[in-house]
Chains A and B, each alone.
Chain A
Amino acid sequence: MEHLIEELKKEIIEVLNLEEMTPADIDENAPLFGEGLGLDSIDALELIVLLEKNYGIKLQNANEGKEIFKSVRVMAEYIKEHRTK
């Protein structure tokens, strides 16, 4: 799990182009949107693509992301359960 969280942080930094950020800067328990990391709706869509590309998880609509992207930890847990690759 911790390994997946680490991996995920790196992927998020890369796909969202969070220049000058390191995995250590992301608190895996903090919200990704709004108060926490301050991401927006387009970032959410990028994360949906990340889920599909890297883990074979296909979401049907953007709303499903809301629960999954609560924090990096929640996201990792979801991936662990649903990944197809």
Chain B
Amino acid sequence: MTDIVVTGLGITSALGVGADDNCTRLLDGRSGIGPMHILRSKHTHLPVGEVDCTNAELREMLFVEPDAAITRASLIGAAAMREALFSAGLLYKDRSLRVALVSGTTVGGMECSEQFYHDFLFTKEKNDYIELHDCGSSTDMIALAFPGQFDMVTTISTACSSAANALILGYNMLQMNRADVVVVGGSDCLSKFHLNGFKSLMILDDQPCRPFDKNRNGLNLGEGAAYLVLEREETARNRGISPLCVFSGYGNRCDAFHQTATSPDGEGAYLAMTEALRMAGLQPSDIDYVNAHGTGTINNDESEGKALMRVFGDKMPMVSSTKSYTGHTTGASGAVEAVISILALLHDFVPANLNFSEKMDSLTFKPVSKVKIGVELRHVLSNSFGFGGNDSSCIFSKIS
């Protein structure tokens, strides 16, 4: 097996557009969660992690015509994609490279469908957004923003682990030599549909979320997109690009417990993490930092915490959930948090798990509650779990 390396990153989240802005705010401990400005929902009391740009601003930034039909999820995605391609030296495509795009999303074009649904059904004329409703079209629009760039495109939709699973397919494609470069990640924007959906499940906190806190009371939704450029180590070397880190292992396992609830002992999460460690050839003690799924719901943090205790025992690495900064970016979260994990690895810091005050009774460990700067990280593990028990873990390692 050859090493699969990460050679480029792009991120758009409530912490800003671009890795620099995101990194600065993580280091400063300034969350992006706040009152709703852009989403037009009546539940304005719910805090959210919005990308602080209107659609018009995003269009301008990306040179998209004001009247061209494109969803916010695709705009946010294209912004992250541009940064990822640029940072990997791929914005002007080398024709000899086979480049693939694997993107995750949960709700696709729902943010537009919910606005125009009446029009979709009852007006005679065709509404351009009908075509953009499904998940695949959301990825397609991102690919179309970079003409000629991609030789293969597909979309994964496994709820909140979608983007993590995109990383996994990308890895496998490279190992099988079905592409030279695979850009992997995901994009989701806020929609009234899933805000109300999570609200109906009574798992939204009307305060800023408190992952792994005894008094946690649910999650905050966020929006965002992130992409990672993956390639074989040899390809990067031949292109003269220095890798940022190694994507050294992954695990994808199913909790198979309940449609929305997670098992009390975190079986799926435990299996996903141990599989990732096995594949990376690492011991639990090699992991220096875990970027937890840590949504802040009663259920997730309990079961993820138990799974972490099963994997790491009494040698718990530093753990934090950065959803306290970005909100839960659903289909994009696997990539948003992979990028954050890699930024931590590159700059040797551990982002804080904000709003933590009291340890959970059932857990033996506390998350990192203040940013830690100047800690040497060798291997970081990022967890992403989705409804239906779709649990995935990815490990990133420093270039040795």
Q: Which residues of A approach B to under 8 Å, CB–CB?
A: 40-42, 45, 48-49, 61-62
Contact = CB atoms under 8 A, between A and B. Distances in A.
Contacts of A42: 201, 259-260
B261 interface: yes
Contacts of B260: 41-42
A61 B299 CA distance: 13
Contact of B200 (A40, A41, A49, A61): A49
B297 to A, nearest CB: 11
A61 B202 contact: yes
A48 B259 contact: no
Contacts of B201: 42, 45
Given A41-B258, A62-B202, 7 more contacts: A40-B258, A40-B261, A41-B260, A42-B259, A42-B260, A45-B200, A61-B217
Interface residues on B, range: under 10
Nearest to B217: A61
A48 B203 CA distance: 14
Closest 6 CB pairs of A and B: A62-B202, A41-B261, A61-B202, A45-B201, A45-B202, A42-B260
A49 B259 CA distance: 19
A42 B257 CA distance: 13
Nearest to B206: A60
A42 B260 CA distance: 8
Contacts of A48: 202
10 contacts: A41-B258, A41-B261, A42-B201, A42-B260, A45-B200, A45-B201, A45-B202, A49-B200, A61-B202, A62-B202
A63 to B, nearest CB: 9
A65 B63 CA distance: 51
A48 to B, nearest CB: 7
A19 B317 CA distance: 49
A42 B201 CA distance: 8
Contacts of A49: 200
A46 B11 CA distance: 37
A24 B260 CA distance: 31
Interface in B181-208: 200-202
B202 to A, nearest CB: 5
A48 B260 CA distance: 17
A61 B259 CA distance: 20
A45 B202 CA distance: 8
Contacts of B217: 61
A42 B261 CA distance: 9
A44 B259 CA distance: 14
A12 to B, nearest CB: 18
Nearest to B260: A42
A61 B202 CA distance: 7
A51 B337 CA distance: 38
A42 B258 CA distance: 10
A62 B203 CA distance: 9
A81 B390 CA distance: 42
A62 B205 CA distance: 12
A65 to B, nearest CB: 9
Interface in B141-189: none
A42 B387 CA distance: 13
A41 to B, nearest CB: 5
A38 to B, nearest CB: 13
Interface string B343-362: 00000000000000000000
Interface string B225-269: 000000000000000000000000000000000111100000000
